[in-house]
Structure 1
Amino acid sequence: MSSGTADAATGVGPAPTPERALARLVEAVLSLGPLLGVLPPVTVPAGPRAQALGPLLETVTRRLGSPAVAVAAGPGRPDPFTQVVADRLDLAALPVTPDGRVEGADRLADIVDDAEAADFGRFCARLDTKAGDGVPLRVYTAGRPGEGAVVLALAPGMPARLAERWIRELARTHYVVTWESRGLFADPGEPAPADYGVTAQAGDLLAAMDRAGATRAHVVGLCGGAVPAVTAAALHPDRITSLSLWHGDFDLGPDSPKTDHQRNLQALMAMACSDPGLAATIHETLCRSLGDNVPADLAHLVLYPYATAELFARYCALNSAVMGEDLRPRLAALDLPVLVVTSTDDHTAHPGGSAAVAAALPGAVSVVRPHGDHISVFRGEPELFEAVAGFLAEHPL
């Protein structure tokens, strides 16, 4: 997902104007912010155009306050993360004249300013706070306070930018609040949290609401975020007015329906949590094939928690807690309107889990789309927004 208004060049259709090509580069650098912030210095291959593109990219990253990205003249053999960065930047799309001049560069200052003004980082306000146990949290808000709060509980460990389309759409009519998971977005040197459990993650949701000044809210739980969303609603019924659970990653006891992906990932994360040395070995092995099954348009965000061995270990701790939490006692405690959405062809989080959750909640509204893989949730397809808008119209905040 690009920041601003357009995705990276696809190679389909007419070539963009030089100014638009530069704008896409700037948008790409902005969207890479979370990943570049945790990777070691990155050098991307640019072939014979490196001499022209290196200074240009240096200017862009400096003006944006982004980590620098170096440019190499050789083809290189980039690691998976460097490849993700290179693919996102798409330097080949920039028009360079035979004499080594980047077309449109005379307008670079204005292009950078315009892209930054339209970016997610300007659209949202960042409000730092601390959870009840002192863990630092990054909270993001958009829209106007007082318009009815909607809290986005993201997939644990994912950057807030992954929900950019949700945030932009919901902020048209509501005050939107979200946060980034404990321990995964800390400042350098910040110690790892002692507690990654689901109750702690649910407490982070409430801490985000408190920091944003939202006393009551509808909570949107995306993927694994559905589990702390349900937990927060069960523990704090006075704060959560309604829930919508989207392609949730649910555990409902020994007979819980799960895909092979869920079972394999849960076993792998359990091994990683059992031994830091083993976590590093698993991380190293995974890094060899990371990108093979990740859509290019979201890879720079989805792969964030895999960027380092330490991030990966913390990510495993967060998600092991979520994937192993038997949600049945929390469901039994709920007494509020709930929308449950899945699709028949979600091969990541078993649709049977969502069906079981809906069945356990008298009066829940269940929506099963005929198509829509798991990652499609984060692309924010129009039909998803129509569903949540209709639900919120029936259950106003």
Structure 2
Amino acid sequence: MARLATAVLSVKPLVEGIAAPVRVVPVARTAVASPVDRSPGQWRALRALLDRVARRAGVDGLLLSGGEGFDDLRVFERVVSERLALADVLDSVGVVPVDRLGEVDRVVTDALADTFEAYCRKETVTSPDGVPLNVYAAGEGEETVVLVPACGMPAALAENWVRFFTRDRRVLTWESRGLFGAAGHSAEHDTDIHAQAADLFAVMDHHDVRDAHVIGLCGGAAIALVAAAGQPSRMRSLSLWHGAYGFAEDYPKTSHQQGLIELMTAAARSRSAAQAVHAAFCQAILTSTPADVAHLVLYPYASPELLYRYCRLNLGITGAPVEPYLARVEPPTLVVTSRDDDIAHPVGSQRVADGLPHGQLRVEPHGDHISLFTADDSLLRVAEDFMARHPRPAPI
């Protein structure tokens, strides 16, 4: 029940992004399985249990389906079904007596209390141009770490980073403008890199943070870099991880990077264009996404509308050449990439490090955008050690 509760909560952004009833079928964590032929009573019990857990987790739209096989589901329904792994509870769910349901509720409540959503304090902060942002804060300490997120990704994708640094620091992060809880909010707001950099300072100002250690992940690295060029005094240190940068002239790109840019350029033209390439986009990204993070990474592809908004934001980042900003980035900066990053070519990080006044390049043997979010403590200590060399000055 605890595993099911955390799994249900983890698919909430994707379910909300699909914005329609999401059919799920019982599959096992170890292998995909078609719906098992069980008694009607057992199916009713499983459906009631899923509904009960989903209500407590605040997740609407999950529909247990007994009429389809796994291959009959849509792409995102398969991702949700694999994440929930209902086959693992199908055999035992029918034996839970009614008078034990209160105990099930307690198990679910305890499990939800240890999730990312409960660990962080979530608020809505308004950007300078009026766009609402989901902002997350956790931890306490004299120093603050601001995580600039990968474009379009749910904040929970950076949970490892948040929990690691909150051991002795305060951590702030947010979710990209116009994508999360944006129902009724126009998509025609600014999507350029300067508007996204301004969001960083809106988050800091809301929490009365004068200066911070800033960590940019993936597309967030370019946002952090532009922000540092504009207000360098507000950053104790800057670290840029597997950045996706734009340059005025052509530079080597991975095949994944090239294909993604082409699809994004097409989808960003209009909503009808996004609708036309949506299926191809989903197939391209699904084949390169590990199952353990698919329920989070695939969020901005859940619908043509989200894809349209996401591609406009991403092109606002990758379409902005970073060369004019590099010389103005005064804070000490760690630039991290790897030799085999097949998503963002490491040459981009090399160019950025070379152009920074106080840049330091670190090339790991392995790693990419996806592995970055499941980083173990040894990798996170690289960021921590760099910050420790640039502490906040003691008050006079």
Task: Settle same-fold status: TM greater than 0.5.
Answer: yes
1:5 aligned residue: none
TM-score by length of 1: 0.90
1:101 to 92, 95, 102: 95
Query: Are 1:32 and 2:11 an aligned pair?
Result: yes
- Partners of 1:286 and 1:364 lie apart in 2 by 35
Instruction: Give CA-to-partner distance per residue, 1:173-192, whole Å, 9 cap, x none.
Output: 21101111111113421211
Counterparts of residues 204-223 of structure 1 (less than 5 Å): 204-223=199-218
Instruction: Give the aligned partner of residue 32 of structure 2.
Output: none
Question: Can you list the C-alpha shifts for 1:142-186, whole angstroms capped at 9, x where unaligned?
Answer: 111x52111111111111011011011111121101111111113
1:82-93 correspondence runs (5 A): 82-93=77-88
Q: 1:117 aligns with which of 88, 113, 117?
A: 113
Cα offsets for 1:356-381 (capped at 9, x unmatched): 11111244222111112331101122
1:315 to 310, 316, 322: 310
Secondary structure of 1:176 counterpart: strand
How much does 1:136 deviate? Answer: 0.8
CA distance in 1 between partners of 2:231 and 2:128 (Å): 15
The 1-side partners of 2:295 and 2:364 are apart by 27
| Cα-to-partner distance string for 1:310-369 (whole Å, 9 max, x where unaligned) | 110000000011111110111111111001111111010111111111111244222111
In the alignment, the residues of structure 1 paired with residue 257 and residue 284 of structure 2 have an alpha-carbon distance, to the nearest angstrom, of: 18
Letter in 1 for 2:227: A
1:62 aligns with 2:55: yes
- Give the deviation of 1:288 after TM superposition: 4.7
- What displacement does 1:52 show? 2.5
Map 1:89-238 onto structure 2 (within 5 A): 89-94=84-89, 96-97=91-92, 100-102=94-96, 107-144=103-140, 146-238=141-233
Tell me the percent identity: 46
Alpha-carbon deviation of 1:86? 0.3
Question: Secondary structure in 2 aligned to 1:94?
Answer: helix
> Which residue is 1:342 aligned to?
337
Contact 1:135 / 1:193 at 8 angstroms: preserved in 2? no
**Partners of 1:58 and 1:68 within 8 A in 2:** no
1:42 to 1, 17, 22: 22
Equivalent position SS for 1:245: strand
Native 8 Å contact 1:96 1:102 kept in 2: no
Counterpart amino acid of residue 321 in structure 1: G
1:155/1:300 CA distance change after superposition, 3 Å? same
Structure 2: runs of 5+ lacking an equivalent: 27-34
The superposition leaves residues 73-128 of structure 1 with CA deviations (integer Å, 9 ceiling, x where unpaired) of: 2343110110011000000111524x932598663111111111111111100121
Q: Structure 2 CA distance, aligned partners of 1:152 and 1:29?
A: 25
- Using the TM superposition, name which of 76-85 and 364-373 deviates more: 364-373
> Where does structure 1 lack aligned partners over 5 or more consecutive residues?
1-21
SS class of match (1:336): coil
List per-residue Cα deviations over 1:38-68 (Å, max 9, x = no partner). 2211121233353321010011011222214
Q: Is 1:366 aligned with 2:361?
A: yes
How many equivalent residue pairs?
374
